[in-house]
Amino acid sequence: MDRLAGQIGGASSHGRLHPMVEPFDRRVIDVGDGHRLHVEQSGNPQGVPVIVLHGGPGGGCSPFMRRFFHPAHYRAVLFDQRGCGRSQPHAAVTANTTRHLVADIEVIRRALGIERAILFGGSWGATLAVAYAEAHPQAVLALALRGVFLGRRAELDWFYGGGVARFFPDRWAEFQAPIPQAERGDMIAAYHRRLFSGDRGQETRFALPWLLWENALAGLEINGSGHAPPDYARTFARLENHYFANDCFLAEGQLLRDRHRIEHIPAVIVQGRYDMVCPPATAWELAQGWDRAELRLVPASGHALSEPRIAAELVHVMDGFRDAGRVAG
């Protein structure tokens, strides 16, 4: 989840994004299985490392993501996950599972000589951050999470099974329209058949309504675009559908079950109060009983990283880690 990541408009005077910086390092890392990942680093090469995990699956990173981190203090590592963005092969789902992505983070961490890092991720990026932290807690300094998604069946049913449709019946009708009535009982499976038909034209045609459904619900102050580059739409829709059709390659409830492995790690969770993509109940569940986790419910905000109040709060989180000295490289 979390495709929208456009430039951010107004932000509060005490939560502005940091200035845009150019990467001091760009490289391609071969992670095996035929996959080659685009990786970049910006900020201070000697600063506290932050590994940025983008949403989707399939969304890719964009330059504005560098602006959440004070460039004199942080060493920000951005990369495009398997099959998306500038990573190759494009739109590939072979050897593309949560286990593979967790292993890729570890390959990147070791290749860059990072001992421990903050993980910064929202939506699917939050899923991946928790999954990696639970697998490699010794490598994690802190977690900065946004719009929490834990990959459970109830969360997928909310978004693709008609739950949120009660708030957006018009948009839901548009999402269902390309699918025959007989197949609408499982929209993920219905779209999967078309997104993986082997007919590139058909895959591209069905990618756009998949993308528009998510865009339409992304934020209170964002109007979901009715247009997207065809190749981008196809990549995003195929990768996201691939993961959702396979329950995100996680055992049901796995990330909550294994939370005890990371309860010693400080975490701040930023959650839009009116997030219709990943409702606040999931973030609440993750935070309950985790003494070192702080849940910040952001008023008048939805899901997208590009909402002003969400963006401002995330800047607060990262500046707070810096100013309070809560983490050190």
Instruction: Name the residues annotated as catalytic.
Output: 123, 275, 303
What are the tokens at 186? 């499982």
Contact 61, 80 (CB under 8 A): yes
SS3 76: strand
Preceding omega of 180 cis (within 30 degrees of 0): no
83 within 8 A of 89, measured Cβ to Cβ: yes
CA nearest to 215, candidates 227, 201, 230: 227
DSSP, residue by residue, 1-57: ------------TTSPPPPP---SEEEEEEEETTEEEEEEEEE-TTSEEEEEE-STT
Q: How far is CA 10 from CA 100, 126, 223, 312, in A?
A: 37, 24, 16, 9
CA distance 7 to 36: 27
User: Which residues does 232 contact at the CB level (< 8 Å), separation at least 6?
Assistant: none
Coil, helix or strand for 122?
Answer: strand
